[in-house]
Structures are given as C-alpha cells and as structure tokens.
Amino acid sequence: MLDIQILRSDLDNVAARLATRGFVLDTARFIELETARKDIQMRTQELQAKRNSSSKLIGQAKSRGEDTTAIMAEVALVGEGLKAIEIQLVQLQNELQSMLEGLPNMPHESVPVGKSEADNLEVRKVGAIPEFDFVVKDHVELGEKLGGLDFETAAKISGARFSVLKGGLARMHRALAQFMLDTHSDCHGYTEVYVPYMVNAASMRGTGQLPKFEEDLFRVPRQMGEEGEQNFYLIPTAEVPVTNMVRDEIIPLEDLPLKYVAHTPCFRSEAGSAGRDTRGLIRQHQFEKVELVQMVYPDESYAALAQLLGHAETILQQLGLSYRVVKLCTGDIGFSSATTYDIEVWLPAQNTYREISSCSNFEAFQARRLQARFRNAAGKPELLHTLNGSGLAVGRTLVAILENNQLADGSVKIPEVLQCYMGGLKILSAS
C-alpha cells in the first residue's frame, strides 16, 4: 500500500511513476473521494466534539445534582445527525481504502522502464552453458526413464498439474531442500522457521495477495460460529506466513535485521496461465520452495537485496548450474515490489533460461499494510522495509539438475554438495 500522504501531496508524480508499469491511476476519482472525505470527516469530528463536551457537562451537572433534561435533549439531537454522517464517512473511507489497496507499488528509480519481460535487463551470466555430444532429453523423459517421475498417477489422485516423485528423485528433491536450508541458516545467517501453510485473510492482505489476486489462491472455506464463515488460504509462497510474523509488531532497533528462511510447499491455482508449461514440473499447483525473508532498516534495504540475491545465487553456484540474473523492468515487476531481480537457470532441453528465483525489495509497501515497524533512534515507530527471494524453488532446481547433469544413457550425475544428503550416492540411474 502506498502512503496516502504522497498521493495527497504529489499525485501527478505518483501517477506518472505508476504509468511506467502500465497502471492507470484515476487521479480525478482520487481527488473527488479525498475532497469528500475531508469535508465529511471534518463535519463528523465537529459533531463528535460537541457530543463529547456536552456529555461531559451532563456528567458534571449530575454530580452537582442539577437538572439535565434540557441539555440531554440537545445532545440527543446531535446524536441523530452523527449517526447519518458517520455512515457516510465509513463508506467514503472504505472506498478510499480499497482504491489505495488496489494501487501497485512505485518502481524504484533504478528500475528500467519497459512494457514486458522483453524489456528486462540482463545483469550478469554466471557459469558456462553445458554442451552435450548427444541429443538431450527433457526432465520429463529423464524422470520417467529413471522411474521416479509419474504424472499419470498424480493425475489420478489429484488432477492436472500435480506430480508424484519416487525413489532417487524424491530423495534428491528432499536433499535439495535440506541443502538449501542448511546453507542459508549455517552460512548466511538466517534463522530457520517452520510456519503454517494455511493463513487467514488478514495475512494475505498484509503481503498484498488480497484483495487483488484472490483468483490465484486456493481458498479453504471454514465454518466459524453460528453462521460466520472465515476462510483459510493455502499459502502461494512462504513469504506470506513469514512476513506476517511481524504484522502489528514494533521491533527493537537492535534486533534488526531479521532474517528468516523457511521451507514450505506453495499452492497456486495459476488461473491466468492455462496452457503454459503444461508439460513437466515447471508449473504445478503444488511445489516446494525455500524462501528467504528479511525485515530491515529502510536505509539498508537495497544493500540487503544485493546480499539476498547473492545468497540465492550461491545455491546455484554450489550445484554447478549456469544461470543469469535479470533485473525486471517496470512493466514486469510484481504488484508489491519496488525492485525485483529474477534468477534464471539454464535448461538445456528448452535451450533457454527459466526463472528459478525472484528476489524483491518491497520497501515499506508491505510494511504499511502490515503495520510492521521498528523503533528508531528517536524512539518513534517507523515502517520497516521487507524483502524476500526464493533460495530456491526446489522443483525447478530438480528439473535443472536432471537436464544439466544428464549423461548419454539417461542417468544423472548427483552434484557433489548433495551426495552427503543422499547416502553418498553419486549417480541416479534406472537400475
């Protein structure tokens, strides 16, 4: 959520910056709502002040044993007027609030202006692209040949876009998550956390998935009390539960930065991407991810983003995978993000780089919704900056290893750093 003060004081500039990401801010509507809000709010508060002071007088008069019927009648009249105008005020504030919640974050000045992913900026390429002297197989073929990847059974028990992993593949999948968790907590200073996979609506709202992106989520209806219904939502990323840990909190300055790593499943309905990546593990309703989350002092958030990106890259380097880092342009960054770097891993069978991590600085955008603050040197609460990034998406990492480490006979070399997680095994073969 953007700071409404900025909208009030610098509306045209905000509109211009949002326009770079293809968002049209209805400035006329904002001004209209804001003007009405100001008027109604002032009138409401005037009446409330009158009621308060009169009620106070009644209290004083009664304690002296005086007659209060006249003044009470007068205040009752004020109360009537108040009821009506308070309803108006609440309506206006709700409209303003939902308009505000619908606005995406403003891109950082350093973000390249562009319309689509075609305009993203390649920052660096790391690692040589592997060459093969045989025709490469994709991960689906490799996995099925190895007997460890089974989409038909997954379709039977759940449906499309689910998978069953078996044997060595299942174990490598687990090994990857362990390796990532251990690396980030032992070497990069993150505290490992275990968190709920279902969260309430307030949490989804806090990190910006709601109200705008409900269609991408899996909702779990839940009967509450007599008639009330209160939904759970399956998390689309660990970002949601982990970042929400600081919702409505004031963190002591000396505790910053907070750095958390969590391994969770992620659930996405992918409503908008029917027909894309229907083959294989690339795009699933359920996948696993090791997520890095930081809450930091505002001045340090860009340094923290660079670090966090490096932490994610370390994993790819240690696995021996080739990748590139891309800075997303204004037209391609996510709703809540001010700056995003994607890490894309090389997939031989697709002959291209594919996203395996996304690292973002949200600045105060999430913190404002979350009321996630710290106490600054002057002792005043101030909004934190929040960041997160995948470190990494486990399923896609598995895909990358299968495809990049394949041998001519369809067996797959296990990266050295994973071998200790796999009982010393060096190679996956059909056996």
Partner RNA sequence: GGAGAGGUGGCCGAGUGGUCGAAGGCACUCCCCUGCUAAGGGAGCAUUCGGGGAUAACCUGAAUCGAGGGUUCGAAUCCCUCCUUCUCCGCCA
- Residues labelled as active-site residues: 268, 283, 355, 358, 396
> Which stretches of 151-270 are assigned E, i.e. beta strand?
164-165, 191-192, 198-200, 219-220, 232-234, 250-252, 258-267
Residue among 19, 27, 29, 38 that touches RNA (CB under 7 A): 38
Q: What distance in Å separates the CA atoms of residue 253 and residue 199, rounded to the nearest whole number?
A: 28
Residue among 29, 31, 56, 66 that touches RNA (CB under 7 A): 56
Q: What distance in Å separates the CA atoms of residue 1 and residue 427, rounded to the nearest whole number?
A: 49
Compute the least distance from the CB of residue 58 to RNA, in Å: 4
Judged by CB under 7 A, the number of residues near RNA is 36
9 binds RNA (CB under 7 A): yes
The set of long-range contacts for 32-41, using a CB threshold of 8 Å and a minimum separation of 24, is 33/92, 33/95, 33/96, 33/99, 34/7, 34/8, 34/96, 36/92, 37/89, 37/92, 37/93, 37/96, 40/85, 40/88, 40/89, 40/92, 41/89
Report the residue number, 60 or 153, with the smaller CB distance to RNA.
60
In this structure, the strands spanning 191-192 and 258-267 are parallel
Name the one range near RNA by CB under 7 A: 46-54, 159-167, 212-220, 386-394: 46-54
The values of phi and psi at residue 144, to 5°, are: -70, -40
User: Please, are residues 162 and 204 in contact by the beta-carbon 8 Å criterion?
Assistant: no
Contacts (CB under 7 A) with RNA, residues 287-326: none
Residue among 11, 20, 23, 55 that touches RNA (CB under 7 A): 55
Report the residue number, 28 or 70, with the smaller CB distance to RNA.
70
Compute the least distance from the CB of residue 255 to RNA, in Å: 12
Report the residue number, 44 or 120, with the smaller CB distance to RNA.
44
Report the residue number, 75 or 304, with the smaller CB distance to RNA.
75
Contacts (CB under 7 A) with RNA, residues 197-226: 224-226
Count helices and strands in the chain by DSSP H and E runs: 13, 18
Residue among 215, 220, 381, 426 that touches RNA (CB under 7 A): 381
Token readout for 277 is: 């990546």
245 binds RNA (CB under 7 A): no
Q: What distance in Å separates the CA atoms of residue 73 and residue 359, rounded to the nearest whole number?
A: 62
Residue among 19, 31, 59, 134 that touches RNA (CB under 7 A): 59
The H-or-E segment that residue 45 falls in is helix 27-63
Token readout for 370 is: 């979350």
Q: What distance in Å separates the CA atoms of residue 62 and residue 430, rounded to the nearest whole number?
A: 91
Token readout for 162 is: 């689910």
Residue among 46, 117, 122, 409 that touches RNA (CB under 7 A): 46
Name the one range near RNA by CB under 7 A: 1-9, 293-301, 334-342, 410-418: 1-9
Compute the least distance from the CB of residue 83 to RNA, in Å: 9
Report the residue number, 49 or 306, with the smaller CB distance to RNA.
49
Compute the least distance from the CB of residue 2 to RNA, in Å: 11
29 binds RNA (CB under 7 A): no
Name the one range near RNA by CB under 7 A: 12-20, 182-190, 323-331, 373-381: 373-381
Residue among 14, 21, 30, 54 that touches RNA (CB under 7 A): 54
User: Please, are residues 376 and 382 in contact by the beta-carbon 8 Å criterion?
Assistant: yes
Query: Where are the alpha helices (H) located in 270-390, listed in sequence order?
Result: 301-319, 365-370
Report the residue number, 252 or 424, with the smaller CB distance to RNA.
252
Nearest CA to 334 out of 368, 361, 300, 309 is that of 361
**Window 62-101: contact mask with RNA (x via CB under 7 A):** xx--------x--xx--x----------------------
Distance of CA 4 to the CA centre of its chain: 22
Judged by the rule CB under 7 A, the positions of this chain that interact with RNA are 4-5, 8-9, 38, 41-42, 44-46, 48-49, 51-56, 58-60, 62-63, 72, 75-76, 79, 224-226, 228, 230, 250, 379-381
